[in-house]
Amino acid sequence: MSTPAGPASPAERYAAATRRIAQDGPALTAFQQLYDFTFDDFQLRSCRALDAGHGVLLAAPTGSGKTVVGEFAVHLALAEGRKCFYTTPIKALSNQKYSDLVRRYSAAKVGLLTGDNSVNGEAPVVVMTTEVLRNMLYAGSPTLAGLGYVVLDEVHYLADRFRGAVWEEVIIHLPESVRLVALSATVSNAEEFGDWLSQVRGGTTVIVDDQRPVPLWQHMLVGSRLYDLFTRSGNGAGRPVVNPELIRIAQRDDWAQRRGPGRGQGRGRRPARGGRRPHQFRVSSRPQMIERLDTAGLLPAITFIFSRAGCDAAVLQCLAAGLRLTTPEEAAQITELAERRVADIPAEDLGVLGYADWLAGLRRGIAAHHAGLLPTFKEVVEELFAAGLVRAVFATETLALGINMPARTVLIERLDKWNGEQHAALTPGEYTQLTGRAGRRGIDVEGHAVVLWLPGTDPGAVAGLAGTRTYPLSSSFRPSYNMAVNLVGWAGRDRAAALLESSFAQFQADRAVVGAARRARKLRAEIASLSPQCELGDAAGYAALRRELTELEAGQSKTRSQARRKELDRSLEQLKRGDIIRVTGGRRPGMAVVLEVSLAGARPQPVVLTHNHQVKRLSVTDFAGPVSPVDRIQVPGAFSTRSAKLKKDLAATMRNKLAGRDLGRPPRAARAPDNADITRLRRELREHPCHRCPDREQHARAAGRQWRLERDAEELEQRIAGRSHVIARTFDRVCALLDELGYLDGGKVTAQGRRLAGLYTELDLLTAESLRRGLWDELDPAELAACVSALTFEKRKADDAPPARLPPGRCRGVLAEMERVWQELDEAEKQHKLSFLREPDLRFGWAAHAWASGQRLERLLSPDLTPGDFVRAVKQLIDLLDQIAAAASPAPVAATARDAIDALRRGVVAYSSVG
C-alpha cells in the first residue's frame, strides 16, 4: 500500500523548475508566471513554436485563450528590444486590447493607432487596426523600424468581402524578418491557409484545437421548460441524438397548426377519440426567458436578437415587467460608474440619447448592445457585464465579432436574420460564432447555448447547426485602384503582378485548378485510347464528315423551327376575341373560341374556351404550326369565365357555328428543300471508303464518344485557363483603366496617382477624380463635409425610403456632378470588365452639413439614424476628410477639409474613450 506523497521538497521543486525551463526555455517559463492559470497544450505548442523562430497560425474556438499566444509575441519583442504590432479588425477591439496591455506593461510601453485615436505611436508595443498597418507598409513609415512581431487577431476576417483584402496585403508585404502570429476562429481548412502562409512567409507552424476549454451544452426553451437538445443513444456508441421529446413537441405543434384554431377544440367539446387534445405551447416573452434562465442559475446571459429595435424593445419589456437582477448595493455601483463615464455629455444631449431608460435598465442588470448605441454607452455595458453587474444583455450579432464579453449562457431568439437583402437562415459558422460566447473560462464549469422554441421550429435543423464543424476560410481578395498605385509605386508593375500572384485567393484558385487539370489529363488519355481505326480508310475523317452533316442538319432543323415559331407568334398576335381556332397540340386537341390574347414574357398566349367548356391559356406548344381562324362568333360582353352556364352556352354556340362543316385534318407543314451543303456532304459520306465497312457503326460510336470527351476536355481546359493568373489579369485591367485616366504611366505612378495612393476608401477612384476635377474647390467646410459624406456613408439595408434630403446651397450641384462622374467611371469599368465602385449615397449629406454647421443633435437623429449610426458615420467621414487634407495639400481644399474635421469633431462625436 503506497503512502500519500507529501509536499515537494525545495530540491524537488528546483528540479521540476529546471526540467520546465529545459523544455519551455527561459522566455516561455517567465511568461507563464505572469498568469494565474496553467496553459493548455495548444497554447504551449504555439508559444514554443514562436520561441523557436517560427511563425504561428493558431485556429481555436472563441473564448479558448488564443490571445495568450499573441501576448507571448509582445513578451518576446520586449525581451529582445524589438517592436510588436498587435492588430485587430475593429476599433473597439483595439481599444479593449490596448487597455489590457497597458494594465500589464504600463502606458509608457504601449501605444494605440486607430482612425479615432493616436496614443504613443512610437511605443515598442502598438495596438492598431489592420488597415493602419497596411497603410504604414505602403507609405514606408519609419515606425516600422525595429518591427519583430505582428499579431493578426481574428485573421479569419480575410473572408470579409468588403475588408478582407487588407489582411492578405499585410501578410504579403510584411518584411521577411517579421514573425507573424495569426489567430483564427476554428475553420475547416486551417492547414490550407497554413500552407499558404508557409509559402509567402516561410516556416509557419499550424496548430488547430477543436476543444472548447469550457464544455458547451445545447438546449431549447419550450414555453417555460428547458430541454436538452441532445440525448445519448442506446446503441452503446454514445453518439448524441436529438431529444425524442423535442421531436414529439414539434410533431404535436405541426398537427395542431394543420388542424387550425377551433377545429374540434371548441368550449365543451370532447377531444378526438383515443387521444388528448394536443397541448398548445406558448412562446416565452423576453422577461419570462430571462426569469427562467435566472431560476436555472444560467445568468449572466446574452440574448441574440437580430434587430436593433428588438434589442431596445426587449429592455423596455423587462422594465415594464418589473424584472430586477441586481441588489440595491449593486444598483448604486452601476449608477456611480455610469454617471462618471457620461459626465462630459451635456444634459440636453443625454435626453436625446435615451439616457434615462438606458440607466434604468442598467440599474436592474439589463442592457442592450448594438451598433446603434452611442459608443460610450456600449463601453459602459461591456464594462458592467465583465464586472458581473449587468446580467442580461440583448445584442445583435455584432457582439460576436471580437469584443471580449463572455457569458454563462447564450440564448438565440431566431434562427434566421436579415442579411441586407432577405431573411436568411443562420449558417453553422454563424451559430458557432454566437454560441462561442457561452462559458467563461476560469469561472464556469460549463457553458449553455439555448435556442428559443417558436412554432414551426425543427429540432433536427437546430441539431444540424449545433453539430456541424465545417467552416472553410475563403479569400475575398481583389486588387483595388488604391492598391494598384501603391503596389506599382512600391514594387514596380511587373513585380507588383507577381506579388499579387502570391495572394491566398490565387493560391486557392490554383489548388482548385490542380484537381481540374488532373481530370483534363485523364480525359486526354481516354481520348487517345478511343481513336478509331479502319482498314478501308480514314476512320477519323469519316467520323468528321458524319459529325459535320449531323450539325448542319440539326442547324437547319433549328432554323426551320425558329422560322415556324416566328410565323406562329405572328399568327397568334393577329387573333381577335371570338375567333374559332383549331388547337392541334397539347393533351386535348380540338376546337376553341378565343376570349383574349395577352403577352406573357413577350410571347402571345391566347386565353380560349375549349369545346368541352374549359378555359385555358395556350402557348406555342399547343400548336403544330401557324394558326388561322376557322370562323368567328360573337362573345357576349357580359361573358364571365366563372359562370358555368355562360361557358356552356358559348361552347354550344361554337359547335352550332361549325355544324356540318368538314374540317378534316390540319395540313402538314411542307418540308423545306435540302441545303446544298447537306446534299454535298451526304454524297461525300456515301462515297467515302469507310462507308462500306461492316464495323462502321461501332467505329462511329467510338468516334462520337471521342468527340464528346474532346468537348468536355476543352471546356475543362478553358475553366483552368480562366482561373489561372486570375488575380494578375484583374490587376492588369485595373492598371489599364488607371493608365487611361492618367494615374499610371506604364510602370510609373503619376502625380495624380500619388494622390490616389493616399486615399484608402471604397470609392477611392471617385474621391481622386473629384479632387482632380476641382469639384470641391469652392465649398465651405460644412458643404465639403456634406459632399464627402456621399463617399463614406452607405445605408445598412435597402428600402423604399423617400429620396435623400439634400443639403442647401452649392452642395446640390456638386453632388449632382459627383454622380455624373461616378456614371463615367462606372461606364469605364464596364469597358474594362471591372466592377468596384458602388454608387455614392447622398442620404447622410443633410445631417453632415447640419452637424458641421453647429446644429443640435436632437434635430438630426431619427428612427433611421440612431446615435451610434450617427457617430460612426461622422467618424468615417472625418477619417476620409483627413486623408483628403493630406492628399490635396497644398491646395486650398486641404485647409477646408481640416476646418470641416474641426467642425465635425464636437459633442457626441468627441465622447468616445480609449479604454
Could you read off the pLDDT of 769-795 as tens digits, one per residue? 999 999 999 999 999 999 999 999 987
Could you read off the pLDDT of 362-381 as tens digits, one per residue? 999 999 998 888 888 988 99
pLDDT band at 160 (very low <50, low <70, confident <90, very high): confident
More confident residue, 588 or 266: 588
Highest-confidence segment of 100-114, 638-652, 684-698, 787-801: 100-114
In this model, does residue 408 exceed pLDDT 70? yes
> Mean pLDDT across the stretch 910-914?
61
| Residues listed for the chain | 915
Question: What's the pLDDT score for residue 440?
Answer: 80
Cell of 227: 430541454
**Strands lying side by side in the sheet with 603-610:** 615-617, 603-610, 590-600, 579-583, 631-632
Question: What's the pLDDT score for residue 403?
Answer: 66
In this model, does residue 202 exceed pLDDT 50? yes
Could you read off the pLDDT of 695-717 as tens digits, one per residue? 677 666 766 676 777 777 777 76
Predicted model pTM: 0.71
**Residues of the chain by 3-state class (helix, strand, coil), percent to 5:** 50, 15, 35
Separation CA 361–CA 313 (nearest Å):
11
> Mean pLDDT across the stretch 592-602?
75
Question: What's the pLDDT score for residue 258?
Answer: 56
Going by their DSSP bridges, the two strands 216-222 and 603-610 should be labelled as: unpaired
Helix (H) or strand (E) holding 823: helix 811-831
Question: What's the pLDDT score for residue 427?
Answer: 80
Question: What's the pLDDT score for residue 672?
Answer: 47
Q: Is the dihedral of CA 729, 733, 739, 742 positive or negative?
A: negative
Angle between helices 696-723 and 539-573 (to 10 degrees): 70
> Mean pLDDT across the stretch 193-210?
88
Separation CA 436–CA 449 (nearest Å):
9
Question: What's the pLDDT score for residue 260?
Answer: 55
Residue 880: name the closest of 131, 205, 196 by CA.
131
pLDDT band at 280 (very low <50, low <70, confident <90, very high): low
Q: What is the DSSP string of 309-368?
A: HHHHHHHHHHHHTT---S-HHHHHHHHHHHHHHTTTS-HHHHHHTTHHHHHHHHHTTEEE
In this model, does residue 5 exceed pLDDT 80? no
In this model, does residue 892 exceed pLDDT 90? yes
Question: Which residues 6+ apart lie within 8 Å of 592 measured at CB?
Answer: 580, 581, 582, 583, 608, 609, 610, 611, 616, 618, 654
Could you read off the pLDDT of 331-355 as tens digits, one per residue? 999 999 999 988 888 888 888 888 8
Q: Does residue 480 contact residue 165 with C-beta atoms inside 8 Å?
A: yes
pLDDT band at 239 (very low <50, low <70, confident <90, very high): low
More confident residue, 125 or 261: 125
3-class DSSP assignment, residue 667: coil
Question: What's the pLDDT score for residue 254?
Answer: 62
Question: What's the pLDDT score for residue 668?
Answer: 52
3-class DSSP assignment, residue 406: coil
Could you read off the pLDDT of 803-832 as tens digits, one per residue? 778 888 899 999 999 999 999 999 999 999
pLDDT band at 96 (very low <50, low <70, confident <90, very high): confident
Residue 650 CA to chain centroid, in angstroms?
58
Question: What's the pLDDT score for residue 464?
Answer: 82
Which of 240-249, 273-282, 393-402, 685-694 bottoms out in mean pLDDT, i.e. has the lowest? 273-282
In this model, does residue 176 exceed pLDDT 80? yes
Which of 105-109, 258-262, 444-448, 557-561 bottoms out in mean pLDDT, i.e. has the lowest? 258-262
More confident residue, 530 or 284: 284
Question: What's the pLDDT score for residue 506?
Answer: 84
pLDDT band at 4 (very low <50, low <70, confident <90, very high): very low
Could you read off the pLDDT of 447-487 as tens digits, one per residue? 999 999 888 788 888 888 887 766 778 888 888 999 999 99
Share of the chain above pLDDT 90, in %: 35
Q: What is the DSSP string of 627-663?
A: ---SEE-PPPTT--TT-HHHHHHHHHHHHHHHTT---
pLDDT band at 264 (very low <50, low <70, confident <90, very high): very low
In this model, does residue 263 exceed pLDDT 50? no
> Mean pLDDT across the stretch 233-242?
60
Share of the chain above pLDDT 70, in %: 80
Which of 176-180, 413-417, 779-783 bottoms out in mean pLDDT, i.e. has the lowest? 413-417
Separation CA 700–CA 70 (nearest Å):
67
In this model, does residue 3 exceed pLDDT 70? no
Which of 208-217, 528-537, 845-854 bottoms out in mean pLDDT, i.e. has the lowest? 528-537
Question: What's the pLDDT score for residue 259?
Answer: 55
Angle between helices 504-529 and 165-173 (to 10 degrees): 90
> Mean pLDDT across the stretch 823-850?
93
Residue 622 CA to chain centroid, in angstroms?
45
**Average confidence score pLDDT of the chain:** 82
Question: What's the pLDDT score for residue 117?
Answer: 74
Cell of 389: 453587474
3-class DSSP assignment, residue 227: strand
Could you read off the pLDDT of 496-529 as tens digits, one per residue? 887 888 888 888 887 766 666 667 667 777 777 7
Separation CA 57–CA 63 (nearest Å):
17
Highest-confidence segment of 23-27, 123-127, 275-279: 123-127
Which of 111-115, 288-292, 416-420, 470-474 bottoms out in mean pLDDT, i.e. has the lowest? 416-420
Cell of 823: 456614371
Per the rule left: phi > 0, alpha: psi between -120 and 50, beta: everything else, 405 is: beta
pLDDT band at 397 (very low <50, low <70, confident <90, very high): confident
More confident residue, 455 or 318: 318
Question: What's the pLDDT score for residue 277?
Answer: 45
Question: What's the pLDDT score for residue 623?
Answer: 80
Could you read off the pLDDT of 530-586 as tens digits, one per residue? 666 676 766 666 767 676 666 666 665 566 666 777 788 888 888 888 999 988 876
